Amino acid sequence: MTEPINQAAPVRNAEFKAAVLLVLLAALVLGAALYLLYARGAFESTQTLILQAEDSEGVSVGMDVTFAGFPIGRVRRIELSKEGKARLVVDVPRDDAHWLRSSSIFTLERAIVGGAKLRAFSGIPTDPPLEDGATRSLLVGDAAAEIPRLLAAAKDLLQNLNDLTAENSALAASLANVAGVTGKLNGPHGAMGLIAGDDKNAQQLTERANKLLTTVNALAVKADSLIGHADDRVFGQQGVMTDAQATIVQLNGLLTDARNSLKKMDAVLVEAQGVASNTKEATADLGTLRGEVESSLRRVEQLVNEINRKWPFKRDTEIKLP
Amino acid sequence: MSTQASLPNLLQRLHHGAVGWLHSWWRLLHFAVLMFSVALTPSTYGRDRRPMLAGHLVADTAPNLAWYGVLSALVSLVLIRIVVVTSLSYGLSRFALEMVVRVLVLELIPLTAAAFVALRTTLPAGLEFSQGRSADRQVSEQELHGEFFPRVAAGIFAVWMLAAVSCVLTLILAYLSLYGFTPWALTGYTRVVGQVFNPAVTLILVLKIVFFSLAVGLIPMASSFYFGGSYRNKVTHGLSDMVRLFAVMLLIEVASLMGNYY
């Protein structure tokens, strides 16, 4: 006798629904597999690029190589070369390979936060494209490596600052001197006390300065008188300036005479120009005359030739054949 | 005198406990092999057994799929939002997508899918099934094919289905949450997803879901298969199944984490 076993509630069209679920699962798994293969570049035609670096720290397989922020390749393999350098084998899809030129450079940047970045730069887009399997060296820029250097420099700077601001430093001594100077400037003798040193010397200096000022005053009076005399001699009734004015008047007359002389000279030149013109015409007539003389001479020559032909002793120039 | 007498007693109890514990694991392994051999037998999928199998498959999967789909979508949306907002506030938004995919799709979704199927379907069904059976009856081959295998297969299939649907749904929600309804970010998104799912990670994810599903499907039914006649066993085996199931799931999760990150 078997006990009744709890059966699941009967499902209508169970086989059809189960088939739908199976197909759905198969479609999901197949679709996900195809999408992942596509995402990992399984259907892309690629070319290989090999990047060599001293150190591949921070680089991982599957990492992107970017150009202008766009991924154009991914690291397929990282290996150690015979020279002890890191070799990064990068797959670049052929559709994106035209961004890489033979003159392109590649950098590995390691930031303080986040992973390293592989970047490509093509400066001259007209250069020939990068060939398949090309090997390029990788320039490494490491922000974290700068930190110890920066810290050492900052430490030196702080030490120098400490030295500068120390109690017995040169800066402190200078500032104490400045305080002394300003104290003297504010004292009863002011700047004079600062220049003279002690009070006695300052007093003597003041007295001497007063004497000097008195002398300078007298000198100024004398200079004033001298300037008055000079004014009389230059601009007075018999002064230099009056004579100069008369001289200028005479010079003006002389210039008027010179202008008249030049006008006469101008007329003479006009006449000379007329003479030259006549000479030119006469020269033209001489040409005509020469032509006439030549014509007469030709006629005389013709006449002489005629006479020679009609002359009885004329040579017989005709040749008679037998 | 009493301490001298109690020490062998303690050792004896320890021995009994260890033997019982090893025996239970051995029985589980034996049941797994039995189910595997049944699964490979063509007659299991014969015309007369197909309706039963299909019925369990649909009854165990469809209600869970609807509920778990809704719940996982809501939880995923909240978690994605938290990750995106936090990463934005720290200026690390370019790592947000990778983190969302790793945390949700690789770790949380498979674990919660397996736990959901176990708590809602296989553990109660296993207990109910075992309580309905007589204490001292041997399992016939007919029962193995008609009663045990459909329940085990339905549990395994439900975990696969829930995990697959929720992973795909979470990937779509992550894209929409990060970029909105635009197709222009699809290239970059696909690239990041491709970087996360390298062959090792994908293999570990698949293996994890498979082992979760085997644990969820097999452990509750194994106790029913070896159900003893005592009343004590009848009452306590549901709880022990649950503890054993979650211990196995924890072990699988720890192993997958070690595989992914060590």
How far is residue B92 from each of residues A22, A70, A315, B98, B214, measured CA to CA in Å? 40, 18, 133, 11, 39
DSSP β-bridge partners for residue A108: A118, A140
Distance CA B46, CA B69 (A): 32
Q: Which domain holds residue B12?
A: 2-261
Q: Could you identify the residue written with the tokens 């869970």?
A: B64
Distance CA A182, CA A106 (A): 63
- Phi-psi domain of A190 (left: phi exceeds 0; alpha: psi -120 through 50; beta: other): left
Handedness of CA B117, B122, B127, B128 (dihedral sign): positive
Q: Looking at beta carbons, which residues of chain A come within 8 Å of B56?
A: 8
Flag the least confident range among A7-21, A115-129, A274-288, B113-127.
Answer: A7-21
SS3 per-residue string spanning chain A: CCCCCCCCCCCCCHHHHHHHHHHHHHHHHHHHHHHHHHHCCCCCCEEEEEEEECCCCCCCCCCEEEECCEEEEEEEEEEECCCCCEEEEEEEECCCHHHCECCCEEEEEECCCCCEEEEEECCCCCCCECCCCEEEEEEEEEHHHHHHHHHHHHHHHHHHHHHHCCCCCHHHHHHHHHHHHHHHHHCCCHHHHHHHCCHHHHHHHHHHHHHHHHHHHHHHHHHHHHHHHHHHHHHCCCCHHHHHHHHHHHHHHHHHHHHHHHHHHHHHHHHHHHHHHHHHHHHHHHHHHHHHHHHHHHHHHHHHHHHHHHCCCCCCCCCCCC
DSSP β-bridge partners for residue A78: A88
Distance CA A120, CA A49 (A): 12
Of the CA atoms within 13 Å of residue B212, those in its CB half-sphere come to 31
Distance CA B171, CA B77 (A): 11
Quick check: A83 and A125 in contact, CB under 8 A? no
- DSSP assignment, residue B122? I
Q: How confident is the model at residue A4, as a pLDDT?
A: 43
Q: Please name the residue of chain A whose CA is at the shortest distance from the CA of residue B160.
A: A25
Q: How confident is the model at residue A6, as a pLDDT?
A: 47
Q: Which of B62, B147, B194 sits opposite A39 (nearest CB)?
A: B194
Q: Which H/E stretch holds residue A121? A: strand A116-121
**Number of C-beta neighbours around residue B261 at 10 A:** 8
Q: How confident is the model at residue B231, as a pLDDT?
A: 45
Q: Looking at beta carbons, which residues of chain B come within 8 Å of A31?
A: 168
The reply to whether B54 touches chain A by the CB within 8 Å rule is yes
The reply to whether A24 touches chain B by the CB within 8 Å rule is yes
Q: Looking at beta carbons, which residues of chain B come within 8 Å of A113?
A: 92
Distance CA A223, CA A229 (A): 10
**What one-letter code names the amino acid at B257?**
L
Q: How confident is the model at residue A213, as a pLDDT?
A: 93
Q: Which of B55, B164, B188 sits opposite A8 (nearest CB)?
A: B55
DSSP β-bridge partners for residue B39: none
pLDDT band at A266 (very low <50, low <70, confident <90, very high): very high
Q: What domain count does chain B have?
A: 1
The chain-wide mean pLDDT, for chain A, equals 85
**What one-letter code names the amino acid at A300?**
V
Flag the least confident range among A84-98, A191-205, A225-239, B248-262.
Answer: A191-205
**What one-letter code names the amino acid at A14?**
A
Structure token digits, residue A157: 């700077």
Residue among A11, A64, A66 with most chain B CBs within 10 A, to mutate: A11
Distance CA A249, CA A247 (A): 5
> How many residues does this entry show for chain B?
262
Largest CA distance in chain B: 83
Closest CA to B210 of B170, B242, B252, B169: B252
Q: How confident is the model at residue A265, as a pLDDT?
A: 92
Q: Looking at beta carbons, which residues of chain A come within 8 Å of B129?
A: 5-6
In this prediction, residues A266-295 reach a mean pLDDT of 90
* pLDDT tens-place values along chain B, 262 residues long: 455 557 788 888 899 889 988 888 888 898 899 999 999 988 888 888 888 889 999 998 998 999 999 999 999 999 999 999 999 898 888 888 989 999 999 999 999 999 999 999 998 888 888 777 665 566 677 777 778 899 999 999 999 999 999 999 999 999 999 898 999 989 889 999 998 998 999 999 999 999 999 999 999 888 777 765 454 565 566 677 888 899 999 999 999 999 988 8
Phi, psi of A70 (to 5 degrees): -105, 135
Residue among A40, A59, A61 with most chain B CBs within 10 A, to mutate: A40
Neighbouring residues of B154: CB distance < 8 A, sequence distance ≥ 6: B53, B56, B57, B59, B60, B61, B121, B217
Q: How confident is the model at residue A2, as a pLDDT?
A: 40
Distance CA A71, CA B190 (A): 12
Q: Which H/E stretch holds residue A140? A: strand A134-142
Q: How confident is the model at residue A244, as a pLDDT?
A: 86
Q: How confident is the model at residue B249, as a pLDDT?
A: 94
- DSSP assignment, residue A96? T
Q: How confident is the model at residue A242, as a pLDDT?
A: 82
3-state helix, strand and coil shares in percent for chain B, rounded to the nearest 5: 85, 0, 15
Distance CA B67, CA A153 (A): 63
- Phi-psi domain of A17 (left: phi exceeds 0; alpha: psi -120 through 50; beta: other): alpha
Quick check: A39 and A64 in contact, CB under 8 A? no
Quick check: A75 and A160 in contact, CB under 8 A? no
- Rounded (10°) CA dihedral B70, B72, B77, B79: 160
Q: How confident is the model at residue A3, as a pLDDT?
A: 43
DSSP β-bridge partners for residue A93: A46
> How many residues does this entry show for chain A?
322
pLDDT band at A1 (very low <50, low <70, confident <90, very high): very low
Neighbouring residues of B75: CB distance < 8 A, sequence distance ≥ 6: B112
Neighbouring residues of A106: CB distance < 8 A, sequence distance ≥ 6: A51, A65, A118, A119, A120, A121, A136, A137, A138, A139
Q: What is the pLDDT of residues A66-78, one digit of tens each?
A: 998 888 998 989 9
Quick check: A18 and B153 in contact, CB under 8 A? no
Q: Looking at beta carbons, which residues of chain A come within 8 Å of B202?
A: 36
The reply to whether B194 touches chain A by the CB within 8 Å rule is yes
Q: Could you identify the residue written with the tokens 């002398």?
A: A215
Q: Which H/E stretch holds residue A87? A: strand A86-93
The reply to whether B147 touches chain A by the CB within 8 Å rule is yes
Q: List the domain boundaries for chain A.
A: 45-144, 198-259
